[in-house]
Amino acid sequence: MAKSPRITRRSFADYLLGTGLVALAGTVLYPLARYLIPPKVKEVAAGSVVAAKVGDLQPNSGKVFLFGSKPAILIHTGQGTYKAFTAVCTHLACTVQYRGDIGHIWCACHDGHYDTISGQVLAGPPPRPLAEFGVTVKGNDIVVTRTA
């Protein structure tokens, strides 16, 4: 059938189809491409976290870091070993810290003291000890893992 000089409905439909298909291709391929590009954020490997590098922490000092969605504390003890515990105080959930002057994990809120051997309560209101995490040194990394 002959095509009339003005834009027929058919070719308008073709135009829409063409544009639509190209636009759809772009709308699908753009997110797809962005998806495949690896994100810059470090992958969160569930059960373990590199808490610090060897040499970051001086002996008899501690560092609070994020583990999962809760704070945790890594301690480089005066004897040279690494210990890791949850940093959520068992009294009222304040974030604890390490005090090198007394060698205890300490909660500033109500003066709770925990030992660094197994997280047991030494003084103050906390009712329960701090849960301990596993620490392994892999090369230059200090890796903290959830113990089973």
Footprint of another protein on residues 67-126 (CB under 8 A)? 69-71, 88, 92-95, 108-111, 123-125
Q: Of 19-27, 51-59, 77-85, 132-140, which part binds another protein (CB under 8 A)?
A: 19-27
Token pair of 90 as six digits: 């068992």
Is 54 an interacting residue with respect to another protein (CB under 8 A)? no
Distances (CA, A) of 142 to 16, 40, 55, 70: 59, 22, 10, 18
From first CA to last CA, the distance across the chain in angstroms is 77
Is 56 an interacting residue with respect to another protein (CB under 8 A)? no
Q: How far is the CB of 142 from another protein (least distance, A)?
A: 19
Is 19 an interacting residue with respect to another protein (CB under 8 A)? yes
CB nearer to another protein: give 100 or 125. Answer: 125
DSSP string for 78-144: TTS-EEEEE-B-TTT-PBPEEETTTTEEEETTTTEEE-TTT--EEESS--SPPPEEEEEEETTEEEE
- Binding another protein (rule: CB under 8 A), the pick from 16, 29, 54, 102 is 16
CB nearer to another protein: give 11 or 81. Answer: 11
